[in-house]
Chain A
């Protein structure tokens, strides 16, 4: 459904993505892992068309969305939902208005129908009573759930999740994980999730993509990933501090760097 091929992206001389490939099949849950700063969020932004890669292509069905200019992307964006890491709810709008926004903008539905739809979407994330509150009056986890309700407003084909469970308590985190699974199993929504949470991914992913140094290190089902003999992959899923992946991100030699002229 979504294919990205040989994506390269550099930020002010620092290579973030160096020829990454990515495929997400329809109605499946695909997880993207990687070290912090490993290009996960950048890849996500490129997949939703918010960022143009330096080179490479992103196919959404038959269309290459990297060739499209801003407004030409709109038909694709209406089929996508995105859950931002910090929710990115509009702070000057109430919870209900936030969820209603995509429907108000893109449909001709009557206000009374939109109100019912908003209640349904909020019920889906368990926050039906919070319609009239402002985002700042909610906890981080609740904001994320509202943001998820908003992402689902237009019944998208595919939903992207940027670190959906980071910074949440274990219970809310597993509620969100369950929501992702339900969305996929019950509503057939394609889910693409960027995360650090290995356990969660192992539990519900259909496919896992591991990014390392701007490239894809491994692709496979949770079982294949778990059984991989690659040391790097093993270090990722066990989270061991010792292994081929260094904690130090600097490329310069430490001793050399300390030598003062």
Chain B
């Protein structure tokens, strides 16, 4: 029994130390990435070489159909759910405002962030991890090319640009989904729906969602690339790292979301 307790403490201690090590490595990676991003953005030739649009395409455009579909369904589902609560008190007119606020402040950024973490963050880890295994990263280093500059920076810029745009589109799509359901099935007049939405929604709601999505983009890129860069060994470790990347970025996004929602509206 006693040894088991000691083992348990040992396990917790080791996990905690690994966590702190990861955290400090992530901090340095982030610092280097931000620094190199400014260097890249200031250099026309390097900017051209970095193929930033390709990154925006890979992370943003290619996630579009998935994000739009999920957002539309989410908008409808939220409208359905809230209508049950408001039916008996005759409060259907509150639906547009509620859905718009919930989407722009909370659900839009969160759902988009989680989808992109699963789709794009995992791809970052798998791709960079595979490059690590095949010694491509070591080759870059021996050519005096910084792997951070070469692999992380354009992904960072690409996602920081495309995730807010995706989030914005997801927000409008979800509200539109709610509008369609509300006006066709719940009998809310379309002009009332639009008026109610615009009355409740302020610039701050949209703005706070954008701030969240930028933070989520940073989380996804940093964890995704970091997990790829620390791959050791073979295919098994690439798989494990990809799984860890999705799990930890998902969890981190939810933690930051809660903190930011509390800070903005608590």
Contact of A77 with B by CB under 8 A: yes
Interface stretch among A52-60, A85-93, A211-219?
A85-93
CB distance from A147 to the nearest CB of B (A): 8
Q: Is the CB of A86 within 8 A of B134?
A: yes
Q: Which residues of A contact B145 (CB under 8 A)?
A: 101-102, 105
CB distance from B138 to the nearest CB of A (A): 6
- Knowing A88-B139, A104-B49, say if A74 contacts B134 (CB, 8 Å): no
Contact of B255 with A by CB under 8 A: no
Q: Which residues of B contact A91 (CB under 8 A)?
A: 131, 134, 136
| Tally of chain A residues near chain B (CB < 8 A) | 25
Q: Which residues of A contact B142 (CB under 8 A)?
A: 48, 50, 77, 80, 82
Q: Is the CB of B138 within 8 A of A84?
A: yes
* Contact residues of A between 212 and 231, Cβ < 8 Å to B: none
| Tally of chain B residues near chain A (CB < 8 A) | 15
Q: Is the CB of B144 within 8 A of A73?
A: yes
Report Cα–Cα, A6/B236, bound state, in Å: 36
Contact of A78 with B by CB under 8 A: yes
Q: Is the CB of A102 within 8 A of B134?
A: no
Residue among B49, B131, B142, B145 having the largest count of chain A Cβ atoms under 10 Å: B142
* Contact residues of A between 99 and 120, Cβ < 8 Å to B: 101-102, 104-106, 108
Report Cα–Cα, A104/B149, bound state, in Å: 14
CB distance from B196 to the nearest CB of A (A): 49
Q: Which residues of B contact A70 (CB under 8 A)?
A: 141, 146
Q: Is the CB of B138 within 8 A of A88?
A: yes
The chain A residue with its CB closest to the CB of B141 is A50
CB distance from A232 to the nearest CB of B (A): 31
Q: Is the CB of B144 within 8 A of A74?
A: yes
CB distance from A110 to the nearest CB of B (A): 10
Q: Which residues of A contact B136 (CB under 8 A)?
A: 88-91
Contact of A14 with B by CB under 8 A: no
* Contact residues of A between 59 and 88, Cβ < 8 Å to B: 70-71, 73-75, 77-78, 80, 82, 84-86, 88
Contact of B135 with A by CB under 8 A: yes
Contact of B143 with A by CB under 8 A: yes
Q: Which residues of A contact B45 (CB under 8 A)?
A: 108
Q: Which residues of B contact A88 (CB under 8 A)?
A: 134-136, 138-139
CB distance from A198 to the nearest CB of B (A): 25
Residue among A85, A91, A108 having the largest count of chain B Cβ atoms under 10 Å: A91
Q: Which of B131, B138, B143, B146 contacts A101 (CB 8 A)?
A: B143
Report Cα–Cα, A148/B10, bound state, in Å: 48
**Interface code B119-144, partner A: CB below 8 Å = 1, 0 otherwise?**
00000000000010011101111111
Report Cα–Cα, A74/B144, bound state, in Å: 5
Q: Is the CB of A84 within 8 A of B135?
A: yes
Q: Which of B131, B139, B144, B146 contacts A84 (CB 8 A)?
A: B139
Report Cα–Cα, A75/B138, bound state, in Å: 16
Q: Which residues of B contact A48 (CB under 8 A)?
A: 142
* Contact residues of A between 33 and 63, Cβ < 8 Å to B: 48, 50
Q: Which residues of B contact A73 (CB under 8 A)?
A: 144
CB distance from A111 to the nearest CB of B (A): 10
- Knowing A74-B144, A101-B145, say if A86 contacts B135 (CB, 8 Å): yes
Q: Is the CB of B143 within 8 A of A77?
A: yes
* Contact residues of B between 141 and 160, Cβ < 8 Å to A: 141-146
Report Cα–Cα, A90/B143, bound state, in Å: 12
CB distance from A103 to the nearest CB of B (A): 10
* Contact residues of B between 26 and 54, Cβ < 8 Å to A: 45, 49
Q: Give A residues with C-beta under 8 Å from B.
A: 48, 50, 70-71, 73-75, 77-78, 80, 82, 84-86, 88-91, 101-102, 104-106, 108, 150
5 A-B residue pairings within 8 Å (CB atoms): A80-B142, A86-B135, A88-B136, A105-B143, A105-B145
Q: Which 6 pairs across A and B sit closest by C-beta, in order of nearness?
A: A88-B139, A77-B144, A74-B144, A88-B135, A82-B142, A102-B143
Q: Give B residues with C-beta under 8 Å from A.
A: 45, 49, 131, 134-136, 138-146
